[in-house]
Chain A
Amino acid sequence: MAKINIRIEGLPYQVDEGLTILEAARQCGYEIPSLCNYNHGECNRASCRVCLVEVKGARGLVASCVYPVHEGMEVKIASPIASQARRTSVELLLSNHSMQCQQCAKNEKCELLHVARLTGARENMYLGEKTPVSIDRINPAITRDTSKCILCGRCVARCANAHGNGILGFENRGFNTIVGPAENRNFNDSPCIMCGQCVSVCPVGALMEKSEIDKVDEAFRQGKYVVVQTAPAVRAALGEEFGMKIGTPVTGKMVAALRRLGFHKVFDTNFGADLTIMEEAHELIDRLNHPDSVLPMITSCSPGWVNYAEYYYSDLIPHLSSCKSPHEMEGAILKHYYAQKVGVKPEDMFVVSIMPCTAKKFEKERPQNMVDGLKDVDAVLTTRELGKMIRRAGINFIKLNDEEFDEDIVGQYTGAGVIFGVTGGVMEAALRTAYFAITGEEYGMINFTQVRGFDGIKDASLNINGTVLNIAVAHGMKNAKVLLDDIRAGKSKYHFIEIMGCPGGCINGGGQPYVRECFLPNEDIDIVDTYKQKRANALYSEDERKRIRQSHNNPQLKALYLDFLGNPNSHKAHHLLHTSYEAKVPFND
């Protein structure tokens, strides 16, 4: 890329052509206060004016987030005029902001608080009327509080970028403007899929996951037998909550921390993932063997995607695998098999799932995910909430020694389960087992690299002993829509499709630690482009390290089938491990 010469504070720099002043300054080692750290086209309104700088020759101050650099440009960031203007911009934002920073769950990662500190915003500069408040705490996954919203629109852009037609928008006018679903509805009564992508970009506490830490506390208080399971993507990101480099796998420390939090047993959801693969691969083979069955089959592990299907593609519900998602399967096995084995009444067992996901909070409430009157999972905490619990308990996470998951009767897991956390992972894991089930032999290469990476839609054609299998992988509903419209039009050539609700899969789920340059001074400058790959690498490397890498070779899983379930897709397996879906009306009355 061509380089151009600019001056910042009078000092000469060479920067890439085409950058904004904000980006160029960052390359030169200056952090201009801004509220679009996670920008990448998700805010280009330049309306907050928090990043104003002086440019020689320009009429007035310019917003550095959108103003492109040019040859010979002279920028002043530290000048009193620019500094005071930035401070005023922040003070104006604060004048219509709920000032409950101490109690706000976002406070340690709040970008508004951060720029207030950076700019030296003064107390109560502009007092007056505030925009009427509406708070949505009705749904089990996400809360929305307009008194904290600064109308930056990043959630609106993220929702639309990830899912095509987003459900969030600006409404009303002037001082009454708010951001929310149409008619300022709550998320339950609008076609929100609860993926939490909006939460992961919100700079303030306006959009948050609905915390269930109190629920877990209560279970301990009642003397329940509290077991915890952790999703694969959590280990790839939990370290970030404690300042560790993005992509550091912290499996062992996480287990150690969970033991110190008092959980009676610490399991890996990957056991459930292996179980999912057994059920799903056999469901696929079953469908392939019956000429009149519904194909392509689509994975059903992602509750965001399942919600989307129920709202927008209910005619395609027969294509969804009837398998529950891994943590629901594991919950059902824990309550209806493991509990008996260890002499605990199923109703005295409380299952907590640590998930990278907000939609899982919603999923666990689905009536279809109950067996014999008991919920499979009782509480879902996000990766961020686990971070809070660990901090609250005073545990020095970084200093913990690695510990192993409980693996007494259930809990062993394979490399196939680990890669569930990244787009393409479920497909790859399923192919390893489907290959074996069809041919009776292991796939020698183990890795199916065709389905790795972050392309919106990945596809491959495999010839397994004469059986041609066309597969596709999509993540984010915008990409999934392309494949779904083809199925609807009868043009789809695929047999098996993996769909994940969030772009990148679970490693980028709505419950994962926030990735903000301003809070990550030790990360590379391009971290918002590379963090997904770094987290994915953490999972792929754990898969490589595992001795057993195919779900069907999980010894405890084999024992579970022998001892309890019989065969994959048996009557008992269906009773415990499979679910159903129903069409939903997008805007309920």
Chain B
Amino acid sequence: MAHLSGAAVEMINSICEKYKDETTPLMMILSDIQRQYGYIPLEVQELVSKNTGVSVADIYGVVSFYSFFSLKPKGKYIIGVCLGTACYVKGAQQVVDKFSEILGIKPGETTEDLMFTIDALRCLGACGIAPAVSINGKVYPKVAVNQIPGIIEELRKEAAEK
């Protein structure tokens, strides 16, 4: 657990503390950690194991089962490209390939500067605006491949201003 900062340890301990009276608190604890800490590496799982008494093997099983949980840090911007049937026939594969090409990462990966993560999603439920892309909750409708450099540029600018 050498890699966790004091603040991180405190945050995780307090999340575990919050659910200590629940009979099966693991999912709630992991969900909170995913949201607040951004990912759930093995050191964090060890700490959760210490707090809850659930084995690391079991915790790892849960974390690796649900795609909501992440073992690696995610980027500031999570680019969700819908690859559902409707988006796919409208060219979503080319959209995701273009993001990959520009950012130099495959779906599921994160850029080294921790700015962008590409997620290949199943149906977003927005088939009317296919191909759809969702970035940190904001939905981009009918994305054309030639718009993509602009979208990334815009996000970079936004991040720099903040």
Contacts and interface: CB of A to CB of B under 8 A. Distances in A.
B42 A170 contact: no
Interface string A172-192: 110000000111000000000
B65 A169 contact: no
Contacts of A181: 57
A171 interface: yes
Instruction: Please classify how large the interface on chain B is, using the bins under 10, 10 to 19, 20 to 34, 35 or more.
Output: 10 to 19
B53 A169 contact: no
Contacts, number: 44
A162 to B, nearest CB: 13
Nearest to A585: B2
Contacts of A166: 55, 57
Contacts of B42: 182-183, 587
A165 interface: yes
A229 B57 CA distance: 37
B85 interface: no
Nearest to A169: B57
A172 B71 CA distance: 12
Contacts of B55: 160, 165-167, 169
B45 A182 contact: yes
Instruction: Please classify how large the interface on chain A is, using the bins under 10, 10 to 19, 20 to 34, 35 or more.
Output: 10 to 19
A156 interface: yes
Given A183-B42, A587-B42, A587-B46, A167 B57 contact: yes
Contacts of B13: none
Contacts of B64: 171-173
B71 to A, nearest CB: 8
Contacts of A183: 42, 60
B56 interface: yes
B58 interface: yes
Given A167-B55, A169-B55, A173-B65, A586 B46 contact: yes
A182 B65 CA distance: 12
B64 to A, nearest CB: 5
Interface string A118-160: 0000000000000000000000000000000000000010001
B49 interface: yes
The 6 closest A-B pairs by CB, nearest first: A169-B57, A182-B60, A165-B55, A169-B61, A171-B64, A173-B65
Given A172-B64, A182-B45, 11 more contacts: A156-B57, A165-B53, A165-B57, A166-B55, A167-B55, A167-B56, A171-B61, A181-B57, A182-B42, A587-B46, A587-B56
Interface of B: 42-43, 45-46, 49, 53-61, 64-65
